[in-house]
Amino acid sequence: MKQKSNSTKAPAKSRKSKERFRSTLDNMLEGCQIIDCDWRYVYVNNAAARHGHRKPEELLTRTMMEAYPGIENTELFSVLKQCMEERVPRLMENKFDNPDGTTGWFELSIQPVPEGLFILSIEITERKLAEQKAQEQLANVIALREIDLAILSSFELKTTLDVGLNQVMARLNVDAANVMLLDPATNILKYAAGRGFRHQMIEFCQLNLGEGHAGRAALEQRTIHIQNLKETKGFLRAALIEGEGFISYYGVPLIVKRQVRGVLEVFHRTLLTQNPEWLNFLEVLAGQVAIAVDNATLFNDLQRSNAELMLAYETTLEGWSAALDLRDKETEGHTQRVTAMTLELAKAMGMNDSQLVQIRRGALLHDIGKMGVPDQILLKPDALTEEEWGRMRMHPVYAYDMLSHIAYLRDALDIPYCHHEKWDGSGYPRGLKGEQIPIAARIFAVVDVYDALTSDRPYRAAWSTEKVIEHIKSLSGSHFDPRATGEFLKMIEGKR
């Protein structure tokens, strides 16, 4: 009322200046609008109407609710309401879904005025989208880094593939993803890992190279995209798609050093919107998965050839030890028997697996040093002379000289080098005493003497088991470690 009476009294000069203000406001780049206390538009400049995808005349004299049905339920409206009621200014960012499906972002400055509210709006869509894009790119880099870390910290392909597929699902927003690996021997693609499938059927799918979409991606070494799986014919895993309800499909070959290792497949239950950046990231992720596969394959190949080499060594060892028995005219299977008994005793005494490996090798080779003892001494049917004994007592030293140069056998030396040491220090070659003698040799010594005495030798016939057991008992604490003797006797009693 007061304003109106002012304006009627206003001189012409003032009216002219008001018109200039008005025209400036109308054409400003920022949106300007005034809403009265009943939410009716009383002023809307061109920019404000444009921001709302409306013409000014579509808004003026209408209420906000009439112009934008449903606006009462938005965050924008609750902020406006608060400003209106409490008469306080506010700044806010508002997201506006355009009728054409695009999204606009605006920075709003809301100011209470006598008529109601004055709203200044600045479009910030470009900045917002750039921010969003930067955030997505960062998340993508983090995703790649996660896969990197998985590759670096695990040789288990399954683990790495799981990490990779989790990132594929999360970053690409697809319903399901899996990796098929190419078996180079048969050229068959086999399921290796998957995520998001409702049924297990995918796990049993196999495709020949060139067969189906995946087989084609692998053979042609290119990404295969199927817009709508339901429209394609000759779909080999049709039953799978039927049960899963998939629509969109991408198959990306996993290529490392120009070799195809498999295919990364992604499935979606609705149409996937085409987007070059999405596709690019899918291919980057596939590259990463390919590296993981390559890495694990290298590791497995190395492990396999290591295992093959080990087997060859072990076979060689057994061959050597059989040759030694032959020369020694040992009774059939002496070395096999003492090796088996020594391992059993060592286990009973709590030795671990890697110690057992060395003990086994040492037992197989325990008398390898006798290779340095001439036949006329080794096979002599009588007692040895002092000189002959001197030579015979060198056999553990010969073993040391032979084996210490072989890295693979160095840790197995305890038995060949120390099996004639005695608990009381009266043994040879070094006269070690008690626990100075390696535990493996203390265990072995009991077994070796037991087996020697229960067998025929060129210089005497076999003893009875009773006599041998009595003999072993009598040497506990002098020749033998009492603990090893006790355990050994328990073991032998258990067998009788």
CA distances from 217 to 251, 255, 296, 297, 418 (A): 6, 11, 22, 21, 63
Joined tokens for residue 421: 């040491």
Confirm or reject binding of residue 188 to ligand C2E (CB under 6 A).
no
C-beta separation of 433 from 406 below 8 A: no
Q: How far is the CB of 399 from ligand C2E (least distance, A)?
A: 12
* Smaller CB separation from ligand SIN, 235 or 320: 235
Those residues with Cβ within 8 angstroms of residue 99's Cβ, 6 or more apart along the chain or in another chain: 53
Is 421 near Fe ion (CB under 5 A)? Answer: no
Instruction: Return the bridge partners of 180, or none.
Output: 191, 263
Q: Is 194 in the site for ligand SIN (CB under 6 A)?
A: no
Report the residue from 109, 154, 187, 336 that binds ligand SIN according to the rule CB under 6 A: 154
Q: What CA–CA distances, in Å, run from 477 to 40, 67, 416, 486?
A: 109, 105, 21, 10
Given the rule CB under 5 A, which of 64-72, 118-126, 304-312, 366-374 is the region that contacts Fe ion?
Answer: 366-374
Interaction of residue 384 with ligand C2E, rule CB under 6 A: yes
Does 461 bind ligand C2E (CB under 6 A)? Our answer is no
Figure out which of the listed residues 459, 464, 477, 478 binds ligand C2E, where binding follows CB under 6 A.
459
Alpha carbons 380 and 371: distance in angstroms, whole number? 15
Among residues 235, 282, 236, 288, the alpha carbon closest in space to that of 261 is found at 288
> Considering the complex, what minimum distance in angstroms separates the CB of residue 402 from ligand C2E?
17
Choose the one of Fe ion, ligand C2E, ligand SIN, none that binds residue 491, judging by a C-beta under 5 to 8 angstroms depending on kind. Answer: none
Which among ligand C2E, Fe ion, ligand SIN, none contacts residue 472 (Cβ within 5 to 8 A by kind)? none
Only one of the segments 70-78, 91-99, 236-244, 445-453 lies at the binding site for Fe ion (rule: CB under 5 A); that segment is: 445-453
Q: How far is the CB of 405 from ligand C2E (least distance, A)?
A: 24
333 backbone φψ class: left, alpha, beta (φ>0; ψ -120 to 50): left
Give CA–CA dist 253/210, Å, rounded: 12
Write phi, then psi, for 181 (nearest 5 degrees): -105, 140
Q: Is 64 helix (H, G, I), strand (E, B) or coil?
A: helix
Report residue 150: phi and psi, to 5°: -65, -40
The label of the residue with tokens 């806010």 reads 92
**Interface region with ligand SIN, contact rule CB under 6 A, candidates 68-76, 92-100, 136-144, 152-160:** 152-160
> What does the alpha-carbon distance between residue 292 and residue 309 come to, in Å, rounded to a whole number?
26
State the minimum distance, in angstroms, from the CB of residue 448 to Fe ion: 5
Cβ burial, residue 304 (10 Å; 0-12/13-18/19+): exposed
Least distance in angstroms from the C-beta of 230 to ligand SIN: 12
Task: Give yes or no for a contact between 87 and 110, defined as CB atoms under 8 angstroms apart.
Answer: no
Residue nearest to Fe ion (CB): 367
Which listed residue (6, 17, 103, 153) binds ligand SIN by CB under 6 A? 153
In the chain, the amino acid numbered 422 is K
Classify residue 177 by burial, with Cβ atoms within 10 Å: 0-12, 13-18, 19+. buried
User: According to CB under 6 A, which one of 457, 462, 483, 486 is a site residue for ligand C2E?
Assistant: 457
The residue (of 421 and 448) whose beta carbon lies closer to Fe ion is 448
Peptide bond connecting 429 to the previous residue in cis, omega within 30 degrees of 0: yes
Write each residue from 405 to 444 as x if it is in contact with ligand C2E (CB under 6 A), else as -, in one continuous string.
---------------x------------------------
Minimal distance in Å, beta carbon 224 to ligand SIN? 8
Min dist CB 422 to Fe ion, Å, is 13
Kindly state whether residue 452 participates in binding ligand C2E, applying the rule CB under 6 A. Answer: yes
Smaller CB separation from ligand SIN, 116 or 215: 215
| Residue 457 binds which of ligand SIN, ligand C2E, Fe ion, none (CB < 5-8 A, kind-dependent) | ligand C2E
Which CB, 203 or 456, lies closer to ligand SIN?
203
Type of residue at 130: A
Nearer to ligand SIN, 117 or 218 (CB): 218
Q: Which stretch binds ligand SIN (CB under 6 A): 50-58, 229-237, 319-327, 360-368?
A: 229-237
Enumerate residues 308-337 that contact ligand C2E by CB under 6 A.
none
Q: Which does 51 bind (CB under 5 to 8 A by kind): ligand SIN, Fe ion, ligand C2E, none?
A: none
Q: Which residues bind ligand SIN (CB under 6 A)?
A: 153-156, 207, 212-214, 234-237
Site residues (CB under 5 A) for Fe ion? 367, 448
